[in-house]
Amino acid sequence: MDFLSDNYLIIKGLHIILVIFWMAGLFMMPRYLAYHMQSDIGSDTDKVWQQRERALLRIIMNPSMIGAWVLGILLLVPQMSDIGAWFHVKATLLIVLTVFHMMLARWRRLAADGVRPRTEKFFRMVNEIPAIAIIIIVMLAVTKPF
């Protein structure tokens, strides 16, 4: 417990950095998939989008999501007795973002297998999900309203 208390600000800073990386990935992947849906299956463009999506998921999104969760839980440990109701809303939204991340990974896999799981318009619309969630999460974390 001393380690967490002594290094709280370092852990918090790293957590914020990883959340920024994760959010960047959650903003980028639906756009990538929207552009990918415009390409012909098996074309050179299709293969380029597959590589981009795979790299984004494996190099940025997955590691940053896992790191953000681990560090977020570590930040929570010293404050367990002080959690307000606002945190339950935040945690629910984090679970929603994690499920969204998993859905993007599945849609990416389907696209790589030659299936067009959704339309370009669909991916442009779901691109707003992380933006709405992060606005609410940040406002809850800053104001702690309840």
101 is in an annotated binding site: no
Summarised one tens digit per residue, pLDDT across range 93-124 is 999 999 999 999 999 999 999 999 999 999 99
Mean pLDDT estimate for the chain: 96
Summarised one tens digit per residue, pLDDT across range 55-88 is 999 999 999 999 999 999 999 988 888 889 999 9
**Whole-structure pTM value:** 0.94
90 is in an annotated binding site: yes
Q: What residue segments make up the domains of the chain, in order of their start?
A: 2-143
Q: Which pLDDT does position 78 carry in this prediction? A: 86
**DSSP letter string over the chain?**
-HHHHHTHHHHHHHHHHHHHHHHHHHHHHHHHHHHHHTSPTTSHHHHHHHHHHHHIIIIIIHHHHHHHHHHHHHHHGGGGGG--HHHHHHHHHHHHHHHHHHHHHHHHHHHHTT---S-HHHHHHHTHHHHHHHHHHHHHHHH---
